[in-house]
Chain A
Amino acid sequence: MALEDLSHNFLTGRLEDLVRWARRASVWPAAFGLACCAIEMMATGGADFDMSRYGMEVFRNSPRQADLMIVAGRVSQKMAPVLRQVYDQMMEPKWVISMGVCASTGGMFNNYAIVQGVDQVVPVDVYAPGCPPSPETLMHAILTLHEQIRTGELLRRPEVLAGADDDASSPWTPQIATAVRLGTPK
């Protein structure tokens, strides 16, 4: 958190890049597969859509050893406290990908039993739509997260949002996040 306050010279700039590279090159997911999306997450870790080439095939069973929580599946009312407890047990820095529409917004189950969006329980960094998202979509979400980690956009986000609110007269135009633009193949 304190790294971007330094005025970067040759040495500190490079150290920050090194730290960010290390963080994004070995993001270890916590095993939090809930429903159908979990099967697609397993398929992403399988041989055809290998996650291991990004250093991510080790699904840590203990949240203490994990960096990334991919919430794969619908979160029911009974599961929400467990989700929060697992998230709290993870060490900083940690990220959350909300995989699938059920985790992002409640999906097709707009009813009493499903939490309408896992961002009501944990802060989410990347949302991956789909029901279930095919492994390619999940890979895109993971690569977007890697971009966010690489550019440090996560830390810069509050300032970016504060800047956009100043210009209230112009019509709102959607800002494509740098990370998504860079993470999307041409």
Chain B
Amino acid sequence: MTLAQAPSYPVVTGLGGETVGFVAREDYVEAVRALRDAGYEMCVDVCAVDYLGHPGRDLPDGVAPERFEVVANLLSLSKKERTRLRVQVPESDCVVDSLFSCYPGTEAMEREAFDLFGIGFIGHPDLTRILMPDDWEGHPLRKDYGVGRVPVQFKDAPGPR
């Protein structure tokens, strides 16, 4: 990762050899823009993770764990490298900046994160639900949202009367 200056946020090496950066919410878009100018032409994926109930994740010092994380995966075609940025998003103030102005291809991915997790993206052109019906209540992929199983014979259903 040849940035103009060394990143100010902690960086570890991931399992595939890629660099994983833990950036604060305020510096998120700036960091992504710097990476884009350093040669990461494509934003491959933006997703969200709900860490409610996780036994304990491995965060570097100085990074305070919050309930949600927004993860942006970037790809450099020229250097054949990947990198990842993880942003902690608190439950009480569940918004983060949108990468749409930087990478227009994140439009659908951020809508999906909004739909399934309820994380708002500031600066997104059209933040509406994308996968669930428009009048759905709740955000299904959150950990406190049930799977919605129907009781099935021999597994969940009450016994014979």
Contacts and interface: CB of A to CB of B under 8 A. Distances in A.
A172 interface: no
Interface of A: 77-78, 106, 110-113, 116
Interface in B19-48: none
Interface in B108-156: 131-133, 136, 140, 145-150, 152
Nearest to A77: B133
Please classify the interface of chain A as helix (H, G, I), strand (E, B), loop, or mixed, using the class held by over half of its residues: loop
A110 B133 contact: no
B132 A110 contact: no
Given A77-B132, A77-B133, A78-B132, A112 B150 contact: no
B147 A111 contact: yes
15 contacts: A77-B133, A78-B131, A78-B132, A78-B133, A110-B147, A110-B149, A110-B150, A110-B152, A112-B140, A112-B145, A112-B146, A112-B147, A112-B148, A113-B140, A113-B148
Interface of B: 131-133, 136, 140, 145-150, 152
Contacts of A106: 150
Contacts of B132: 77-78, 113
Nearest to B136: A77
A112 B145 CA distance: 10
A111 B147 CA distance: 5
